Chains A and B, each alone.
Chain A
Amino acid sequence: NAGVTQTPKFQVLKTGQSMTLQCAQDMNHEYMSWYRQDPGMGLRLIHYSVGAGITDQGEVPNGYNVSRSTTEDFPLRLLSAAPSQTSVYFCASRSTGSDYGYTFGSGTRLTVV
């Protein structure tokens, strides 16, 4: 049981490049979310999903796309990277069958130059 796995752990992009941050969980959790955390700041919700095929926007969705084709995977796509997207990205998941909190991944540290 690996929990929530995020890849890559580190990434450097040039402005205008696109990429996908991967998130996978093996706990059969229905709910998954993406957050970003800028230096010295709290977490901000980007997108979330309540199940396969269902996604919705969070607080800061612009510049990001998501899809949820399976319960296990919730990739985050940066369409055209900008320096303002330099941040640490965290993926989290939770089961509908429990009122316990989210399980978070270890994060992806992204730098856009």
Chain B
Amino acid sequence: DAKTTQPPSMDCAEGRAANLPCNHSTISGNEYVYWYRQIHSQGPQYIIHGLKNNETNEMASLIITEDRKSSTLILPHATLRDTAVYYCIVRSFSTGGFKTIFGAGTRLFVKA
């Protein structure tokens, strides 16, 4: 599975959009982009995933560039409860994602 690069930390003002970037320049055609988040010491939580089209759900939006080498997770109206570590992962769905490997992630601080 392709590796990802994320900034170690970011700040965001409460109520503003939080845009978390992820670089996955070695992504291959059958690999999906997944995002999880981990709030404090809880277990990680699945947020969203996509292949090449932009995706939106009740938690966030995922924007994938046309060449698929990078993506951005958007939390449209960040709240203090969105303070967490956000992980970007790419994996091949065809292999079933047996070995889902987490990197260091981005620590997002939402400030009042």
Leading 5 A-B pairs by shortest Cβ distance: A101-B46, A104-B43, A43-B102, A42-B104, A42-B102
Interface bin, chain A: 20 to 34
Q: List 10 A-B contacts (CB under 8 A).
A: A42-B87, A43-B87, A48-B98, A90-B43, A90-B44, A92-B44, A96-B96, A101-B36, A102-B46, A106-B42
Q: Which residues of B contact A (CB under 8 A)?
A: 32, 34, 36, 41-47, 49, 85, 87, 93, 96-105
**Set A41, A58, A88, A101: member contacting B99, Cβ < 8 A:** A58
Q: Which residues of A contact B (CB under 8 A)?
A: 4, 31, 33, 35, 41-45, 48, 50, 56, 58-59, 88, 90, 92, 94, 96, 99-107
Chain B residues, Cβ within 8 Å of A104: 43-45
Chain A residues, Cβ within 8 Å of B103: 42
In the assembled complex, the Cα of A100 lies from the Cα of B87 at a distance in Å of 15
Residue of A31, A96, A101 with most chain B CB atoms under a 10 A cut-off:
A101
In the assembled complex, the Cα of A45 lies from the Cα of B36 at a distance in Å of 15
Given contacts A99-B93, A101-B36, contact A35 B102 (CB under 8 A): yes
**Set B47, B85, B101, B104: member contacting A45, Cβ < 8 A:** B101
In the assembled complex, the Cα of A83 lies from the Cα of B83 at a distance in Å of 31
Additional 20 contacts, C-beta under 8 A, given A45-B101, A102-B44, A107-B41: A33-B100, A41-B104, A42-B85, A42-B87, A43-B44, A43-B87, A44-B102, A45-B99, A45-B102, A50-B96, A50-B98, A56-B98, A88-B41, A92-B44, A99-B49, A101-B36, A101-B47, A101-B49, A102-B46, A106-B42
In the assembled complex, the Cα of A102 lies from the Cα of B102 at a distance in Å of 12
B40 to chain A, nearest CB (A): 11
Chain B residues, Cβ within 8 Å of A94: 97
In the assembled complex, the Cα of A112 lies from the Cα of B65 at a distance in Å of 45
- Are B87 and A107 closer than 8 Å at their CB atoms? no
